[in-house]
Structure 1
């Protein structure tokens, strides 16, 4: 299957699950509150799941964000996500830096790792990482940067936090608003992506 088509299908699945979980938790908030009696324990479990999704499992926890947002508020959920994603990214970076490809290939596709490597320039690495954080899965990028660059851990972590913070709060807030606004937001975002894609095609065809 074409990589772009596969990526589109994955995005649609994630968005669908995000909307589904939002609907379920908003319609049954009392049930979820009774299910997660201890907020501290619930938050710790949520952090652990997000951490594992970054370091080990090549999956996203975005569909779980609406549950957290409705239980603990979108601001706290955003902060929790930033912490969990940053910590997981730091661990993945360290693993990549210390153990290299031989360990990474056991749970991350090397094809994806090398594909990310080609996108990372030697200059302006800090802002490149910030930008890539907006479009690249945290786990793959972290491993790739740990393996193929000489970027120091502090700079990497700072760039990571800057890159993931906007989306952490956007998705946390989005998960807390009524479902109809979520649908409108995702549709608007999809239209913007489509417009950008069309503009890119036109630019390549007529101006290059």
Structure 2
């Protein structure tokens, strides 16, 4: 199972690179100019899409990063990504804790249930930070919301700390790919892949 998850993550990185190349060929000047003319609305739209990517399984926001980095810049994209993913994970946590029965009518929780069984019921602050670094934000948020003894405040702070470093790494890599600097972008994503694989191996021991 771990082997296949690593393969899936590697293939997803290849997909991000390919999509970045594709986006680089698009004529998006009108869209970019429009968002730059209304930066607040553009930022709110991006944050909303990120929140939706966490709450609405299995939609992913990562393919948006190359385009966002071109429009907002790497550092602002990182900040906006942190805000969007963090708000999304807080909402997903509360949905899992309070409204799972309603959400199950629209999405499957089979993967979430499998992940929840692997998480220790007494997971600590550092453990949540680690999970944020090695597992998708969406699945982890729902799974952690099922743990009755986990305090929301602990979850919120640990999630923020876990999301921050990878948000900037993803944004920087997306920015490199989005402006056509493919080799640096690939190098960053490969380092990210190896880091995640090592952290996962350590967590699964």
Fold match, TM over 0.5?
A: yes
Return closer, same or farther for 1:3/1:130 CA change in 2, 3 Å cut-off.
closer
Worse-superposed segment, 30-39 or 117-126: 30-39
- Root mean square deviation of aligned Cα: 2.9
Q: State whether residues 113 and 141 of structure 1, in contact with CA within 8 Å, keep that contact through their aligned partners in structure 2.
A: yes
Hey, what does 2:41 align to over in structure 1? Answer: 41
TM-score (norm 1): 0.79
How do 1:77-92 residues align onto structure 2 when only pairs under 5 Å count?
Answer: 77-92=77-92
Q: State whether residues 21 and 67 of structure 1, in contact with CA within 8 Å, keep that contact through their aligned partners in structure 2.
A: no
Matches of 1:44 and 1:126, distance apart in 2? 30
Matches of 1:192 and 1:88, distance apart in 2? 24
Query: Which structure 2 residue ranges, 5 or more long, are not aligned?
Result: none
| Equivalent residue for 1:179, pick from 182, 185, 188 | 182
Matches of 1:60 and 1:68, distance apart in 2? 14
Hey, what does 2:142 align to over in structure 1? Answer: 143
Deviation, structure 1 residue 73 = 1.2
CA offsets, 1:101-143, max 9 Å, x none?
x234334433212222222223342111111111222122111
Deviation, structure 1 residue 186 = 3.0
Matches of 1:59 and 1:11, distance apart in 2? 18
How do 1:3-18 residues align onto structure 2 when only pairs under 5 Å count?
Answer: 4-5=3-4, 8-9=7-8, 11-12=10-11, 14-18=12-16
Give the number of equivalent residue pairs. Answer: 196
Matches of 1:141 and 1:47, distance apart in 2? 19
Query: Which structure 1 residue ranges, 5 or more long, are not aligned?
Result: none
Bigger relative contact order, structure 1 or 2, given CA contacts below 8 A and separation 6+?
Answer: 2
Q: State whether residues 21 and 64 of structure 1, in contact with CA within 8 Å, keep that contact through their aligned partners in structure 2.
A: no
Return closer, same or farther for 1:51/1:140 CA change in 2, 3 Å cut-off.
same
Hey, what does 1:166 align to over in structure 2? Answer: 165
Of structures 1 and 2, the larger Rg is shown by 1
Deviation, structure 1 residue 167 = 0.5
